[in-house]
Chains A and B, each alone.
Chain A
């Protein structure tokens, strides 16, 4: 059964979206929201130091297949990214105590193009809250900058009345 990965943008609960250590004016909405994330001039930048922690809550349980991170500024592009699943309201102190579901090492080339990075399906099978912890950047700069984050996967069993009707008509 082929599961086609689709963009999980509309399943993100933007009301509870939070990003720790984001610089005012360059917030996480710039990289996640429809339209904003396509523009490279709108970016997310960290504030006090180079680490960022983004807590994304989904409206329903999703399966994550891959993640796209795009960063055009090579020195400030994220290097080590840790993903945590279903840990609501993570803080920076939690990142050292909680084991990550997956740890990614990103290459500047892939980041500049925005290639999707595949994720271990097993760990990301029923995700309600995803925490993206950006630990370091490539140039050792004081701030980390990225232009886009996109999540791909499937939403599992979503009850959609319209679809049911369609099938009935086909028969």
Chain B
């Protein structure tokens, strides 16, 4: 947006390569002319190919603005009227521009669709941006704009998976996928358990489950502790899990435990839970079971201390399944 006159370096395109290519050709020259640039950007957006896409302009400002506040506010109002969202990244000359940009942002922001990020000198620009609402805002949706060239970009596709489990997608996509899949399976199982509980009715289901768990119940103090703590946490509705689910649970827990060797506490919890419902899997049951440690709700903070970030979700999933398995154990103990 400088030089002789602001100009469009590249029209809105989904092709990231084109945009990056033009960025390298940007010269630093002349004075910053935001009003003309924004108007040119608006025009470029107006003539975009896919009219169903929403309009967004991202402005990178690092020089003192020559326009006065009123003019900027007028431009902002025009943008808001035309449903154009604006993201402003201010660095370099923040103090000079702060007041003007604040007024601009207040005028253009409609229901939180726009953002204003001020970057002080020091941290790397890209790091600050990634952690700012611009990227986090709409689940990772972002747009591009040729800052110096005054070209406006339409809103582009999304970024990662919303960083559900920490920074998983960047560091370890397979892990992220595994976690998501296991969580979903867990939820499915929960739903099935709840549905089965509703169908089978309270008493008969519990008696059956208690019967099968009784023989395996003499696991000892470890099991009692594991069983006792889940019991209060378990929802009454989900208490009677149907028999047919238990074996599947056990196998699922095994698979999860084995794939997640990182969290030994969680693995032990899974081991403890398996022993109760499925007598057949007794051999796998107790791979060194410091069972009191991993118990769910009551000891949750303790377990969480070990299971950080990406493991926390998995631990939660395991705990939930344990919570179902727990009451059967308690029934066995009582009898």
Contact = CB atoms under 8 A, between A and B. Distances in A.
Contacts of B80: 21, 47-48
A47 B51 contact: no
A87 to B, nearest CB: 11
A91 interface: yes
A23 to B, nearest CB: 9
Contacts of A21: 80-83
Contact of A49 (B51, B52, B81): B81
B173 to A, nearest CB: 32
A82 interface: no
Contacts of A89: 51
Given A48-B80, A48-B81, A49-B77, 14 more contacts: A18-B83, A20-B81, A21-B81, A21-B82, A21-B83, A24-B111, A47-B80, A48-B77, A49-B81, A88-B51, A89-B51, A92-B81, A92-B82, A93-B46
Interface of B: 46, 51-52, 77-78, 80-83, 110-111
A91 B51 contact: no
A20 B51 contact: no
A130 to B, nearest CB: 16
Given A21-B81, A47-B80, A47-B81, A91 B110 contact: no
The majority secondary structure among interface residues of chain B is loop
Which secondary structure dominates chain A's binding surface? loop
B50 to A, nearest CB: 10
A153 to B, nearest CB: 25
10 contacts: A18-B83, A21-B82, A21-B83, A24-B110, A24-B111, A47-B80, A48-B80, A49-B77, A51-B81, A88-B51
Interface string A15-42: 0101011001000000000000000000
A91 B111 contact: no
A51 B52 CA distance: 22
Nearest to A89: B51
A92 B51 CA distance: 15
A88 B81 CA distance: 18
Nearest to A94: B46
Contacts of A88: 51
Contacts of A18: 83
B110 A47 contact: yes
A20 B83 contact: yes
Contacts of A20: 81-83
